[in-house]
Amino acid sequence: GDSVTQMEGPVTLSEEAFLTINCTYTATGYPSLFWYVQYPGEGLQLLLKATKADDKGSNKGFEATYRKETTSFHLEKGSVQVSDSAVYFCALSAGGTSGSRLTFGEGTQLTVNP
């Protein structure tokens, strides 16, 4: 079945550091890939997405590129801020026989210190 594996957390960085959160997936067909972010006490917010190979999703300084050859969708940001502290979830939606299922990774807790 479909699965998403995320870099284990927690991750602690200083402000302005470079961020990478690794995400790899297993899926049949050609899934859409997503990064969601969850701030403390809130629900999930869509951060960015990519729907086909080599697509780059970007938002708020975050980027991720859909790499079919390595089945990866790593999240990057060049300079993190304290306000980026949150839990980040990688997810895929394969559609087809998987129907509407979004498969999530376990989440990576990011803490950014001033």
Partner 1 sequence: ETGVTQTPRHLVMGMTNKKSLKCEQHLGHNAMYWYKQSAKKPLELMFVYNFKEQTENNSVPSRFSPECPNSSHLFLHLHTLQPEDSALYLCASSQAAGRETQYFGPGTRLLVL
**49, 73, 61: which is closest to 18 by C-alpha?**
61
Which stretch, 7-15, 60-68, 71-79, 87-95, contacts partner 1 (CB under 8 A)?
A: 87-95
CA dist., res. 57 & res. 54, Å (int):
10
Kindly calculate the radius of gyration of the chain based on its CA atoms and give it in whole angstroms. Answer: 14
Q: For the chain, what's the residue count?
A: 114
Closest distance between partner 1 and the C-beta of residue 52, in Å? 11
Given candidates 7, 13, 17, 44, which one binds partner 1 under the rule CB under 8 A? 44
Q: Rounded to an integer, what distance in angstroms lies between the CA atom of residue 87 and that of residue 76?
A: 14
Task: For the beta carbon of residue 85, count every other beta carbon within 10 angstroms.
Answer: 16
43 binds partner 1 (CB under 8 A): yes
In this chain, which stretch among 14-22, 44-52, 69-77, 78-86 interacts with partner 1, using CB under 8 A? 44-52
Which tokens sit at 58? 């970007």
Which range touches partner 1 (CB under 8 A), out of 13-21, 39-47, 65-73, 74-82? 39-47
Size of the site for partner 1 (CB under 8 A): 23
Return residues touching partner 1 (CB under 8 A): 31-32, 34, 36, 42-46, 49, 51, 89, 93-95, 99-102, 104-107
